Amino acid sequence: MIKNIIVEPKRSAFKSLTIRPKKDAKKLDATVKEIFEQVESAGDSALIDLTEKFDRCRLVDLEVTSEEIAYTSGQVSDELKQAIGNAKANIEKFHAAQVSEPISIQISDGVECMQKSIAIERVGIYIPGGTAPLFSTVLMLAVPAIIAGCKEIILCSPPNSEGQIHPAILWTAQLCGVTKIYKVGGAQAIASMSLGTESVPRVDKVFGPGNQYVTAAKAFAMNYGVAMDMPAGPSELLVYADSTCVPEFVAADLLSQAEHGVDSQVILVASDSKIVDAVNKEIEIQISDLPRKSIALGALRNSKAVVIFDIELSFDFINEYAPEHLIIATENASDYVERIINAGSVFLGNYCPESAGDYASGTNHTLPTDGWSKSYNGVNVDSFSRKITFQSISKKGIQDLGATIITMAESENLQAHANAVKVRLNNLKSEEI
């Protein structure tokens, strides 16, 4: 159950109540720097050594072969293939709708400004290993990359001690059209895609979840000119529940988040203390059978229930917290949409669990945590492209706009900027004569 219950906090307490547990990044940074240096100087052989060290497996080849991929097909059940196919179709449908049309605006006679979305050429996807084989994250990253039109999609994931990547990850990757797959995990995977090695190509942007080392490595990749999807932290869920919620469902949703990791955070904001009691009772019932019970218990210790009677104040708290996932567990959930300013992904109503969006409804599950939803959004098709601007100016266009540019440039003391217009205007004047 959630033991930390705060009833009617003052607004001045919101800031401290919404702070996430801090971790010390210093030691991480030194390790990550060392790994980058190792990969920079020794390339593939560093990757093979680091994989032996961290994944207990000495590889001969880093790249997954087409034979390995073909073999995995038999190891994934038809039921799972069908489910992944359904999810993929939904994710494609929602992400295809996000493709931006080019914009072309005539600013004045002879001045045309355009904006065109162009895919990032080479992107890298990181899929962690560990207890949960996250093939769902392959869908969430590869599908929008393909829709955006990325030319090269590189996927790295750590092998198990037998030198294999989970069959469902490989099967999903080939289904989506990932270009190449490598058996590398951790910070060394991010380093390999940032620097390029004999085997692993260098990419322009890296995506995907991971532990603290992977997160630190993604930030460190900036030093090598490689962008990242977003700053990452432990996953989190905030549920807003009023008297029309179903406590059994709320408890199940909170537990689905809590099982992610002991560092996950779940927050229940309720309009009444009775709701917290009812949800806690349900948590006690449901948690007992969970395979990941001890993880969920750990996460619940970081978690809070906050009772706020006033709706306005509740949403001020929610927006200050800026949750990664936000469930509105009420019957009239759509009435609350206008109140939501800061969140990664929002789930409306009693029949809309977070796990729908985690897997199969169509929205993306790579989302900003740790309050970053105040300034970042989750991964979408735009994350895999850039909006480049173009302008086209005719003789008539520069003749009309020229004086404005010259006045502004000279007022900023940038004479050569003004001259670039003047040489053209003078040339046009002499043409007229």
Active site residues: 324-325
Q: Is 45 in the site for its own copies (CB under 8 A)?
A: no
Which CB atom, from 42 or from 219, has the smaller least distance to its own copies? Answer: 219
Binding residues for its own copies restricted to 261-290, rule: CB under 8 A: 286, 290
13 binds its own copies per the rule CB under 8 A: no
Question: Does 359 interact with its own copies (rule: CB under 8 A)?
Answer: yes
Among 177, 309, 391, 429, binds its own copies (CB under 8 A): 391
| Closest approach of its own copies to the CB of residue 36, in Å | 15
Give 66 or 389: the residue with its C-beta nearer to its own copies.
389
Least Cβ distance, residue 52 to its own copies (angstroms) = 26
Q: Shortest approach of its own copies to residue 300 CB, angstroms?
A: 12
Q: With CB under 8 A as the contact rule, which of the stretches 2-10, 59-67, 186-194, 418-426 interacts with its own copies?
A: 418-426
Whole-angstrom distance, CA of residue 78 vs CA of residue 63: 26
The verdict on 84 binding its own copies (CB under 8 A) reads yes
- Structural contact between residues 99 and 117, judged by C-beta atoms closer than 8 angstroms: yes
82: exposed, middle or buried (C-beta count within 10 Å: 0-12, 13-18, 19+)? exposed
Could you say which residues in the range 169-198 bind its own copies, by CB under 8 A? none
Of positions 252, 262, 311, 313, contacts its own copies by CB under 8 A? 252
String of contacts with its own copies for each residue 52-81, x by CB under 8 A: ---------------------------xx-
- CA dihedral for 165, 171, 174, 175, sign (positive or negative): negative
Sole binder of its own copies in the list 73, 309, 403, 429 (CB under 8 A):
403
CA angle, corner 302, sides to 297 and 308, nearest 5?
A: 115
Please give the DSSP secondary-structure letter assigned to residue 73. G
Spatial distance between the Cα atoms of 31 and 36, rounded to a whole number of angstroms? 9
Per-position b or e across 363-383, b if 16+ CB within 10 A of its CB: bbbbbbbbbbbeebbbbbbeb
Backbone angles phi, psi at 123, to 5 degrees: -120, 150
Contact 251, 279 (CB under 8 A): yes
Half-sphere exposure of 274 (CA within 13 A, CB side): 5
Site for its own copies in 369-388 (CB under 8 A): 370-378, 380, 382, 386-388
Which one, 67 or 291, has the nearer CB to its own copies? 291
Number of residues lying near its own copies (CB under 8 A): 128
How many other CB atoms are there within 10 angstroms of residue 395's CB atom? 13
